[in-house]
Amino acid sequence: MVRKASRALSSSPVSAYPHSVTGTSSVSSESTACSSATETPGRIWFEDGNVVVIAQNSSFRVNEGILGHRSREFRRLIKEARRANRTGVELRVSDSSHDFEHLLRILYEGFEYTKAHRPTTFSDLASATRLAHKYTISSVLDQSFERLRTFFPSTLDEWDEHEALRAPSSPSFSPQNAIEAVILFRSLPPTSPAVAMLPTALYLAAQVPPALLFRGTWRADGTLEKLGDHAGVAEEVLTLHTSLIRHAVAAHSAVYDGAPKAGLFHSCGAALERAEKDFRQAAVHGDPLSRALRDEIEGLAGDKYKICEFCVKELRRREREYRMKIWGELRGVIDEESPDKGKEQMADVLKAEKTAGEKPSKR
Ligand SMILES: [Zn+2]
């Protein structure tokens, strides 16, 4: 059924579909005759296709069997369009041509179609999630969520394991992608696995320069996404940002709090005091789940501080314990049934912290 798919998916479009053959669908009330003047055939144009989909100014000629087999929603739309005009099926969709082409490529070539020339990016997954949800394509949605979980995991171990994926140098994720993630996850139903990914998306959004939350960032399909356009969300992220700075400072204090007791070499106490002062300034950042403090601890064993292995081990334990605490608070939102409820709970967590004052929590 998908024979010659890869050849047909060439970059050079073949001859145009007779646009006079049109139908209408419930997706749009716009006149297709009018739109046909400006749209150009997209890269997906099968000679044996029997459905033309128009997204923005691109048109794609595809097979009803492929779309209908995977999506109940496409079956319904195609049926409606055919009822309106028996000579051909033309669907106008409100999605971006970028997103729609991406979905079609997944349907024809498989989820990993980009694999030959680049890794799957967050933008690819976000785009697939948006459309797979809209067109009820559960297999694509499941695969999208499975991959998105590596960016927005549910355990601290997985968070650490996939750290490189979220690093500034990552080819798969840009820090500002977190804005798109928050908006996407909040738009999905409360029963969706996206709800469990929202806390880490909010955390990553809190790492984005605050001005960008309001100015917005561009999605891969050219859509400008602003957290400021979603009531209360930018404020929620800013509050979280402040809370995370407090947490990072508190984590520093918790790690150096008193010298480790048993097995302490005499010299470690003074050296730890020095290190605590040296790194106090560096502790003022909003990314306490990063490896900054862990790297710092590993460095203490070197010539400058000569902290013994026993003490380093204890500091590692304290660092881990504090990060678990932050993680637990962040993940608190997922126990609720809906994102709105989760948001309220997150607000409660932040409020409780505020009333607890600036005092870092120590053991
Ligand atoms: Zn020691």
Tens-place pLDDT, residues 136-187:
999 999 999 999 999 999 999 999 999 999 998 999 999 999 999 999 999 9
CA of 267 to the centre of ligand 1 (A): 7
d(CA 344, CA 350): 10
CA of 252 to the centre of ligand 1 (A): 18
The reply to whether 80 and 137 lie within a common domain is: no
Residue numbers in the chain where pLDDT is lower than 70:
1-39, 41-42, 259-266, 333-363
d(CA 149, CA 158): 9
Q: Give the CA distances from residue 49 to residues 2, 77, 99, 186, 218, in Å, rounded to whole numbers and listed in that order.
A: 11, 16, 20, 36, 33
Tokens found for residue 123: 């933008």
CA of 315 to the centre of ligand 1 (A): 10
Quote the strand ranges of 94-154, DSSP E.
Answer: none
The reply to whether 58 and 92 lie within a common domain is: yes
Cα Rg of the chain (Å, integer): 26
Domain-ending residue, one of 109, 144, 160: 109
Is residue 13 helix, strand or coil? coil
d(CA 238, CA 244): 10
CA of 246 to the centre of ligand 1 (A): 27
CA of 32 to the centre of ligand 1 (A): 76
- Matching residue, tokens 């602003």: 226
CA of 157 to the centre of ligand 1 (A): 27
d(CA 245, CA 157): 22
CA of 318 to the centre of ligand 1 (A): 14
d(CA 56, CA 212): 27
CA of 210 to the centre of ligand 1 (A): 40
pTM: 0.80
CA end-to-end distance (rounded Å), the chain: 64
In terms of C-beta distances under 8 Å and separation of at least 24 residues, what long-range contacts does 345-349 make, across chains too? Answer: 346/199, 346/202, 346/236, 346/240, 347/236, 347/239
CA of 87 to the centre of ligand 1 (A): 83
CA of 182 to the centre of ligand 1 (A): 43
Q: Give the pLDDT of residue 353.
A: 39
How many domains would you assign to the chain?
Answer: 3
d(CA 106, CA 100): 10
Residue 60's DSSP bridge partners are: 53
Residue 90's DSSP bridge partners are: 52
Q: Give the pLDDT of residue 259.
A: 64
Residue-number span of the structural domain to which 72 is assigned: 5-109
CA of 211 to the centre of ligand 1 (A): 44
CA of 102 to the centre of ligand 1 (A): 56
CA of 316 to the centre of ligand 1 (A): 13
CA of 298 to the centre of ligand 1 (A): 13
The answer to whether residues 129 and 144 touch, using CB atoms and an 8 Å cutoff, is: yes
What phi and psi, each to the nearest 5 degrees, are found at residue 215? -70, -35
Domain-ending residue, one of 181, 205, 230: 230
The reply to whether 309 and 244 lie within a common domain is: yes
Q: Would the CA dihedral through 199, 205, 206, 207 be positive or negative?
A: positive
d(CA 363, CA 361): 7
The reply to whether 176 and 92 lie within a common domain is: no
Q: Give the pLDDT of residue 250.
A: 96
Q: Give the pLDDT of residue 105.
A: 95
CA of 304 to the centre of ligand 1 (A): 14
With respect to residue 361, please indicate whether it lies within any of the assigned structural domains: no
Domain-ending residue, one of 47, 79, 109: 109
CA of 260 to the centre of ligand 1 (A): 7
With respect to residue 114, please indicate whether it lies within any of the assigned structural domains: no
d(CA 7, CA 102): 17
Q: Give the pLDDT of residue 87.
A: 73
CA of 309 to the centre of ligand 1 (A): 7
